[in-house]
Structure 1
């Protein structure tokens, strides 16, 4: 059923179901194949393999946060068209979630134990952005995706040159994030005040540093 036909209470139920799927099940994506499909596994020494696995764990946690942000915003957005746009973006982010989870399995790394905490905090932020108004909500999306893209650039620099599989995944993720940011600005998103942008950056830094280890 389209989100435009749901009551606010219905949307919260849908969000709760999506949360369970994101954290403990298999969320529904757009069906795109992983960019790493068909590429040969690189020869990595134990230290490189461990580091790459932890980078992908950070990326997986980042996608958990992205799901929560979009779901929170979809639950509180005022315009039905914006809710549908958030839901579509969440589907594409679910592709990223699936790609990262598969790579974690291939690299013998687990998901972050703190993912439920990241999800809860991000959902609350997304819902607050949605309540603040559509222009602020879209601005929040644009700033989030901008910061995520910078973080993915840093990961690309850290990957061993021979690691084509993880590079392909991260490059496609970065392309999608930049597209989401552009769409949000084109739809009327406004630039967030500097204190909010700095606060988002600090929260992101906490998540990435913690997820690398836990």
Structure 2
């Protein structure tokens, strides 16, 4: 069959919460790819630097939760003020998790400042150091998966998700597991296979099938 070239006109928008220059120095991100993407860089300030956005984000996440079957709440003026003064070490994701928790756990339509204060104190103890989602220190992998599945099923508003859930969940877990192991071993497949308890050929096959791509650390001169 003949191949006909088709002209395209696209723009690539890429986002990250990592320091790519640091990753380049560690050999974990391609320098040439960085310069291909770094045409018009935009820095989005941390939530603590734009506290005036908190009320709008709260309304957005309540509305988003309502579309997934959660109850919409109001937060008192005092509660909003507390949230605007909070430093949000987990950034916007921490705020989203808080709003979802308020919608799921509290029966009252208006959330008081006392509740917000208690929740934020809990959040200060629960945020992981790298600014990730709110998780208890003793949360097991099984509990984390259960939490994800509860949200996943709720997103279908009473209906069931598409069939093939078992394989989809395994694939969801397998990719970050292999990626984390390869990253921790700086792309060393022998060490990663040993870490995972897999045969090296099995790991190589999974890397290819999953599309895991970790660049080895640059050699020192």
Structure holding more helix per residue: 1
TM-score using structure 1 length: 0.28
Task: Compare relative contact order (CA 8 Å, sep 6+) and give the higher one, 1 or 2.
Answer: 1
TM-score using structure 2 length: 0.27
Q: Which is greater in Rg?
A: 2
